[in-house]
Amino acid sequence: MRAIVLVARAVFKESVRDRVPYSMVVFAVLLMAASYLISQLTAGQDLKILKDLGLAALSIFGLLISVFIGIGLVSKEVEKRSIYSVLSKPVTRAQLVLGKYLGLVATLAANLAVMTVAYYAVLVYVQITASEAARGAWMAPAADPRLLAAIVLIFGELMLVTAVALFFSTFSSPLLSALLTLGLWVAGHFNSDLRHFETVLDVQPVAWVARVLYYLLPNLAPFDVKAEVVYGIPVAMSHVAYTLVYAALYISALLAAAIAIFRQRDFK
Partner 1 sequence: MAAAIETEELTKDFLVGFWRKRPYRALDGLSIQVQAGEVFGFLGPNGAGKSTALKLLMQLLYPTRGMATILGRPLGDPSMKRRIGFLPENPYFYDYLTAEELLAYFARLFGHTGADVAARVARALDEVGLAGERRMRLRQFSKGMVQRVGLAQALLNDPEVVFLDEPMSGLDPLGRKRVRDIIVGLRKRGCTVFFSSHILSDAEALCDRVAVLVQGRLVGIGRISEILNVDLKGWELVVASLPPTATPALAGRTRRITQLSDGHTLLELPSDVAPEALMQELAGQGARTISLNPIRETLEDYFVESVAAAALRKTGGI
Closest CB 4 distance from partner 1, rounded Å: 11
Instruction: Give the separation between CA 266 and CA 268, rounded to whole angstroms.
Output: 6
Q: Residue 105 is which amino acid?
A: V
Binder to partner 1 among 88, 199, 204, 238 (CB under 8 A)?
A: 88
Closest CB 104 distance from partner 1, rounded Å: 14
Q: Verify binding: residue 242, partner 1, rule CB under 8 A.
A: no
Closest CB 31 distance from partner 1, rounded Å: 25
Q: Verify binding: residue 91, partner 1, rule CB under 8 A.
A: yes
Which bin fits 232, alpha (ψ -120 to 50), beta or left (φ > 0)?
A: left
**Residues from 248 through 267 that contact partner 1 (CB under 8 A):** 264, 266-267
3-state secondary structure of 146: coil
Which residues neighbour 154 within 8 Å (Cβ) at sequence distance 6 or greater?
Answer: 55, 58, 59, 62, 112, 223
Q: Verify binding: residue 90, partner 1, rule CB under 8 A.
A: yes
Residues touching partner 1, count (CB under 8 A): 26
Angle at which helices 46-71 and 93-129 cross, to 10° = 160
Instruction: Give the separation between CA 243 and CA 222, rounded to whole angstroms.
Output: 7
Looking at the Cβ atoms of 13 and 135, the one nearer to partner 1 is 13
Q: Verify binding: residue 1, partner 1, rule CB under 8 A.
A: no
Using CB under 8 A, which of the segments 52-60, 77-85, 135-143, 199-207 binds partner 1? 77-85
Using CB under 8 A, which of the segments 40-48, 63-71, 84-92, 221-229 binds partner 1? 84-92
Looking at the Cβ atoms of 34 and 79, the one nearer to partner 1 is 79
Q: Residue 57 is which amino acid?
A: A
Binder to partner 1 among 26, 64, 86, 261 (CB under 8 A)?
A: 86
CA angle 17, 23, 25 (to 5 degrees): 95
SS3 sequence of 33-97: HHHHHHHHHCCCCHHHHHHHHHHHHHHHHHHHHHHHHHHHHHHHHHHCCCHHHHHCCCCCHHHHH
Q: Verify binding: residue 20, partner 1, rule CB under 8 A.
A: no
Residues that bind partner 1 (CB under 8 A): 2-3, 6, 9-10, 13-14, 17-18, 80-92, 264, 266-268
